[in-house]
Structure 1
Amino acid sequence: MKKGTRWTKIKKQVESFICEKLKNRVDFIVAVYRKAHDQTGRIYITVDKKEVFSMCTITAEMEDYKTYRKLRDEFNEYKESRELWELSQKELNKRGIFGEYEFYKSLEVYFNSHVKDCLYATDVLLNIFALLDRRVGKRSLKKFSESIKDKHEIVRYFFDLRCSVEELNFNDNDQ
């Protein structure tokens, strides 16, 4: 993605990858709060016009700060540490807390990666993009079902959604 690329263009590109059965059901919405001092906002994903996942910059930054401070106290580190910030970011990712910037960063990785790499990545957003992707077929979903119990609940939600529209049922007896 080029810097300054408009959201409408990015959205069209994302939507072009969504599988046919979910094309008119899943939507990515960007809300920019122009009157906020820094014009940050949030991005959210809806399914059937119901919000299922939200990425708010302010919430993410507050949680990042709290997590960083907690890690700093645990490690008795009293100066700024890049390693602790990276650990904090990984912790937030595991918890499914993202800001707008992570959404765009993950989209860029998604657009420049093989879809199977995104499906098995540790990044929750990459998992979601891949699960919605038309290039992920039934065999890939079946194989992915073996690792789904270790994934974040929102990834499991999108996995179940995709399996439901594909009329797939992977219960414990099948694995």
Structure 2
Amino acid sequence: MSWSKMKQNLESFLCPALIGRVEYRSTSYRYLPDKAGLCYLAVDKKNVLNMNDAASSIRWYKTELEIKNDSSIQIPISPAEMEAVRIETKGLVPEDRLAVIARGRKISEHAKELMSAQSALSKSNFVVVANHFLSSPIEESMESSDILLNILALVDRRVGKKRIVNLSEKIKLKHPSVQYFYELRLHTF
């Protein structure tokens, strides 16, 4: 599918409040075959998410330690996760320390997911993900761990207010760019 047709299809799924605010943009280098070009999302004429530029206005993480030390990331720990640590340590660890160990493990796992997700962003990946989004159910895009699928689903008109509000806990575990688009959509109601 050509870029113009894909852009038209994606924009037809935008929620009414974001039409004209969220734009899908792409540049290509016709005479430079080794250059892939750029693909980015713009909000209010400002480039917010560049698909292959680490210096975008959304925070990109460079190391796992950055993610672990970021206080804005809130990772909820379930009793089942604490119980798993208790069983693994054979009950020799104090109760308050169990939560610290479980949280550390979950943050480490979350950091690895974020790093792999943001390293995959490129123009060619955007085209593949957009095609997948256009041909799959919205629920699949909402539940996906892919950053772009989450963003495309959040700005979609098929996702209503109730579903957006119910996502508040899940969004805390997502990449900052997904959180940005969640807040953008939340403030359109």
1:9 and 2:5 are equivalent in the alignment: yes
Query: Which has the higher Rg, Structure 1 or Structure 2?
Result: 2
User: How many pairs are equivalent?
Assistant: 134
Question: What is the SS of the residue equivalent to 1:56?
Answer: coil
- How far 1:89 sits from its partner (Å)? 9.6
- How far 1:108 sits from its partner (Å)? 1.5
Of the three residues 41, 52, 73, the one matched with 1:56 is 52
Q: How does 1:35-114 map to 2 (within 5 A)?
A: 35-56=31-52, 91-93=115-117, 95=118, 97-114=120-137
Task: Report the equivalent of 2:18.
Answer: 22
C-alpha spacing 1:96/1:37, structure 2 compared with 1 (3 Å) = closer
Structure 2 length normalisation: TM-score?
0.65
8 A Cα contact 2:114 2:175, kept in partner = no
C-alpha spacing 1:96/1:19, structure 2 compared with 1 (3 Å) = farther
Runs ≥4 in structure 1, deviation > 6 angstroms?
none
- How far 1:143 sits from its partner (Å)? 1.5
Render the CA deviation track for 1:82-110: whole Å, top value 9, x for unaligned.
xxxxxx998431x3651111101111211
- How far 1:117 sits from its partner (Å)? 1.5
Structure 1 length normalisation: TM-score?
0.70
8 A Cα contact 1:115 1:130, kept in partner = yes
8 A Cα contact 1:26 1:48, kept in partner = yes
Task: Report the equivalent of 1:75.
Answer: none
Render the CA deviation track for 1:15-60: whole Å, top value 9, x for unaligned.
0000000011010111112233424101011000000000128x9x
The code of the aligned residue for 2:34 comes to D
Greater relative CO, 1 or 2 (CA 8 Å, sep 6+): 2
Q: Unaligned regions of 5+ residues in structure 1, if any?
A: 60-87, 167-175
Q: Unaligned regions of 5+ residues in structure 2, if any?
A: 56-111
Once residues 120 and 22 of structure 1 are traced to their aligned partners in structure 2, the CA distance between those partners, rounded to angstroms, is 22
8 A Cα contact 2:165 2:186, kept in partner = no
State the percentage of identical aligned residues.
36
Task: Report the equivalent of 1:147.
Answer: 170
